[in-house]
Amino acid sequence: KPDPINPPTNVSTLCPYCGVGCGLEAVPNAQSATGYKVRGDREHPSSQGMICVKGATILESVDQQRLLYPLWRERLDQPFQRISWDTALDLIVKRMQTVRFTQGADGICMYGSGQFQTEDYYVAQKLLKGCLGTNNFDANSRLCMSSAVAAYINSFGSDGPPCCYDDLELTDCAFLIGTNTAECHPIVFNRLRKHHKFNPKVKLIVIDPRCTPTAEVADLHLAINPGTDIDLLHGMGHLLLKWRLIDAEFIDECTQGFAQYIQVVADYPPETVAARCGITVTDLEKAARYWGHAKAVLSLWSMGINQSSEGTAKARSLINLHLLTGQIGRPGSGPFSLTGQPNAMGGREAGGLSHLLPGYRLVKNPQHRQELEEFWQLPPGQISSMPGRSVWEMIRGLEAGEVGCLWIAATNPAVSLPDLERTKAALLRSSFTIYQDAYFPTETAAYAHLVLPAAQWSEKTGTMTNSERRVTLCPKFREPPGSARPDWEIFAEVGRRLGFADKFNFPDAAAVYAEFVQLTQGRVCDQSGISHQRLQELGPLQWPCGVNASDETAQETKRLYTDFRFLTPNHRAKFALEHSRGLAEPVDLEYPFVLTTGRLYGHWHTQTRTGHIAKITKMHPRPQLEIHPRDAKQLGLKPDDLVEIKSRRGGACLPVLITKAITPGTVFMPMHWGFLWGDNTEVNALTHPEACPISLEPELKACAVQLIPVNQQ
């Protein structure tokens, strides 16, 4: 209810859905059940007042199916019982102490989320990696951006997307590969689309096996066969070299590995590449020519590149083309990964993957560990030198009985992990699973012993960083329901009860952020010019952001590498030299179709929010399997006929959507439906966990399937 003494005012905040990071303005509204309505924040530099259907309807979901109190059950076949926070926290502490004593700290695992605010991430790292001494913290960014992280680190010497959204309006040639930007990052696409529409010389190239709404407006759409991205990119490199459309001075002064790169791409002549990719030589040449003749080339990529057993090599092969043509560090140019989640970027900054430490540090680097130990005032050697378990290694750990305490927060792995039958069987084996979330029930809650209610967007204060390195403050403007608490407060309370009271005495989220910021000083993700107060006063700020010594103003940075000095030891960017390996699970006679997976415009992840929003469920009432008319005819399928889809791991059953948008031999299924939303419609029942050996990101984008029309069974 509105407070009559302090009536609510407009609040500037951030959309908590995707990594575009659009600014929202929450406006008091007495007619609304939540007391507010939202609109795009015109002052936010990233989105300039634009929002998509998800941001516009966010308030409709915030009070639906909320988890209000901690719940507990000893065994999964028992009903949950309400317990107090005190009892819940004691249960966690007792369990963690037992596991540390019997199995060691590595028996404890936490699986978090890009929905966390940076403050949540940071306190979790301090608890797990610092105080407990295990690096077993992973986040669902492992399924999303870890290949981009590995590519930036291996090519440039550090993580960090080099570009900014203003580059969308400054480029001559936008090269979009493995990203359906129009549906998955709509406001980024709006900005690019306007620029393309009103500047006829600007070229838009889209590489995607599907003719998505993004591809529909492209000057050139290459519908390559799934798994042939590296062939295409090396084939373009081959042509650019042949035509001498390269920047020899940049290559000479700023890169390493060029001589070997020439040898690699020699194996990718146009005829061979065109045949492998399923495109014409003319189109391949056109793509290379558009790139080679442009003054500024901006490439965008997302899950179609990252979610692959060669995800790092794919992203690096794309970066190779930028190095070959000197297309980086200048307005309108550079490789630009689009982040899936609202704060996957903040997670990377806070060290929120099992091989990372806060401030873009690495577990494997002894100096980085020492810096952290000194800062956190821990004994030397306290931080383990072993990278922790990635999420799939946590699943394998459960199978082997090596995980005694699994803590899952703000994510829904019982829908989103690959090979769901195996995932669920592993979760069933867990002897102690904590599930911390705003919503209940969810598919993962069904596998939990202890359930903790978390405060969410609008109910807690914290920061998030979007894809262009811009940090936005998300203030609390509504009370959380029941006894829900911010994630970082829960982690800090467990830390205090475990005996680390002096490490977790944060009075508020601003103090957490201020401590984290000290760890970014002098690092590429420097945020020393940013604080909650400054964000409140100045609005969102883009890192690296230091402080001007003379007038103490914040010094934002639009682009990285404008001096063409990279963060490798010799300051040269590295050409990647990997060859194409293709799909981890190629088609064969038994499983003759490639299943590719992805998002729909309106839904978000596993529908914990969007599944409750009428406008969105009306837009996407059910999942469908997209299939080309030629394949449908061969199988005798008519529109809406049910088809059973089977892979080596499991199956699903969906009505078909017959469309020329998909290439023959490939079918598409959306990722949003878990078992709470329908029977037999889970895409990850089919996918496999084969992952990129460097980033450990699973190949969620492709697996081999067979199709059996239900009416013919």
Q: What is the separation, in whole angstroms, between the first and last Cα of the chain? A: 58
CA distances from 557 to 318, 445, 463, 526, 633 (A): 24, 42, 18, 10, 54
Instruction: Find residue 643's DSSP bridge partners.
Output: 654, 709
Consecutive H or E run containing 109? strand 108-112
Site for ligand SF4 in 143-202 (CB under 6 A): 186-187
Determine the Cα–Cα distance for residues 209 and 112; give it in Å rounded to an integer.
31
- Residue closer to ligand SF4 (CB basis): 21 or 698: 21
Write down the least CB distance from residue 19 to ligand SF4, Å.
7
- Residue closer to ligand SF4 (CB basis): 52 or 328: 52
- Give me 452's structure tokens: 């903790």
E-only strand ranges, 438-501:
450-453, 462-465, 470-474
The residue to which tokens 């059910």 are assigned: 622
- Residue closer to ligand SF4 (CB basis): 22 or 594: 22
Most distant CA pair in the chain, distance:
77
Q: Which stretch binds ligand SF4 (CB under 6 A): 20-28, 253-261, 476-484, 702-710?
A: 20-28
- Residue closer to ligand SF4 (CB basis): 24 or 149: 24
- Residue closer to ligand SF4 (CB basis): 15 or 150: 15
DSSP-derived secondary structure for 50-66? ---HHHHTHHHHTTTTB
Q: Which stretch binds ligand SF4 (CB under 6 A): 19-27, 87-95, 306-314, 623-631?
A: 19-27
E-only strand ranges, 212-351:
220-222, 255-256, 297-301, 334-337
SS3 664: coil
Determine the Cα–Cα distance for residues 180 and 189; give it in Å rounded to an integer.
9
Consecutive H or E run containing 709? strand 702-709
- Residue closer to ligand SF4 (CB basis): 61 or 333: 61
State which of residues 11, 15, 273, 707 lies at the interface with ligand SF4 (CB under 6 A): 15
Write down the least CB distance from residue 297 to ligand SF4, Å.
24
State which of residues 11, 20, 273, 294 lies at the interface with ligand SF4 (CB under 6 A): 20
Write down the least CB distance from residue 344 to ligand SF4, Å.
12
- Residue closer to ligand SF4 (CB basis): 54 or 389: 54
Residue 71's region, left for phi above 0, alpha for psi from -120 to 50, else beta, is: beta
- Residue closer to ligand SF4 (CB basis): 320 or 542: 542
Write down the least CB distance from residue 40 to ligand SF4, Å.
8
Residue 657's region, left for phi above 0, alpha for psi from -120 to 50, else beta, is: beta
Write down the least CB distance from residue 50 to ligand SF4, Å.
7
Write down the least CB distance from residue 188 to ligand SF4, Å.
7
Write down the least CB distance from residue 186 to ligand SF4, Å.
5
- Residue closer to ligand SF4 (CB basis): 331 or 602: 602
Write down the least CB distance from residue 206 to ligand SF4, Å.
18
Write down the least CB distance from residue 48 to ligand SF4, Å.
11
Write down the least CB distance from residue 67 to ligand SF4, Å.
23
Write down the least CB distance from residue 13 to ligand SF4, Å.
11
Q: Is 292 in the site for ligand SF4 (CB under 6 A)?
A: no
Site for ligand SF4 in 544-573 (CB under 6 A): none
Write down the least CB distance from residue 189 to ligand SF4, Å.
9
Non-local CB neighbours of 299 within 8 Å, separated by 6+ positions: 174, 175, 176, 177, 318, 321, 322, 334, 335, 336
Nearest-CB residue for ligand SF4: 55
Q: Is 18 in the site for ligand SF4 (CB under 6 A)?
A: yes
Site for ligand SF4 in 366-385 (CB under 6 A): none
- Residue closer to ligand SF4 (CB basis): 234 or 605: 605
Burial of 691 by CB count in 10 Å (0-12 exposed, 13-18 middle, 19+ buried)? Answer: buried
Consecutive H or E run containing 644? strand 642-646
- Residue closer to ligand SF4 (CB basis): 447 or 604: 604
Q: Which stretch binds ligand SF4 (CB under 6 A): 11-19, 225-233, 503-511, 679-687?
A: 11-19
Give the distance, in angstroms, between the CA of residue 611 and the centroid of all CA atoms in the same chain: 20
Write down the least CB distance from residue 182 to ligand SF4, Å.
11
- Residue closer to ligand SF4 (CB basis): 342 or 582: 342
SS3 700: coil
State which of residues 11, 12, 13, 21 lies at the interface with ligand SF4 (CB under 6 A): 21
Q: Which stretch binds ligand SF4 (CB under 6 A): 15-23, 104-112, 401-409, 435-443?
A: 15-23
Write down the least CB distance from residue 469 to ligand SF4, Å.
15
Determine the Cα–Cα distance for residues 697 and 57; give it in Å rounded to an integer.
31
CA distances from 414 to 395, 609, 690 (A): 11, 16, 18
- Paired sense of beta strands 651-658 and 625-627, if any: parallel
Q: Which stretch binds ligand SF4 (CB under 6 A): 14-22, 107-115, 274-282, 430-438?
A: 14-22
Non-local CB neighbours of 459 within 8 Å, separated by 6+ positions: 62, 476, 478, 479, 480, 481, 484, 486
Radius of gyration of the chain (CA): 25
Burial of 619 by CB count in 10 Å (0-12 exposed, 13-18 middle, 19+ buried)? Answer: middle
Binding mask 425-454 for ligand SF4 (x = CB under 6 A): ------------------------------
Non-local CB neighbours of 619 within 8 Å, separated by 6+ positions: 53, 600, 601, 602
Q: Is 464 in the site for ligand SF4 (CB under 6 A)?
A: no
State which of residues 17, 137, 491, 561 lies at the interface with ligand SF4 (CB under 6 A): 17
Q: Which stretch binds ligand SF4 (CB under 6 A): 10-18, 115-123, 202-210, 694-702?
A: 10-18
Write down the least CB distance from residue 529 to ligand SF4, Å.
24
- Residue closer to ligand SF4 (CB basis): 132 or 613: 613
How many of the chain's residues bind ligand SF4 (CB under 6 A)? 13
Site for ligand SF4 in 43-102 (CB under 6 A): 47, 51-52, 54-55
Please tell me the total number of residues recorded for the chain in this structure.
713
User: CA nearest 506: which of 517, 516, 492?
Assistant: 492
Write down the least CB distance from residue 58 to ligand SF4, Å.
8
Q: Which stretch binds ligand SF4 (CB under 6 A): 12-20, 207-215, 469-477, 552-560?
A: 12-20
The residue to which tokens 């092969």 are assigned: 317
DSSP-derived secondary structure for 300-339? EE-HHHHSSTTHHHHHHHHHHHHHHHT-SSSTT-EEEEPP
User: CA nearest 13: which of 48, 30, 38, 50?
Assistant: 38
Where does this chain bind ligand SF4 (CB under 6 A)? Answer: 15, 17-18, 20-22, 47, 51-52, 54-55, 186-187
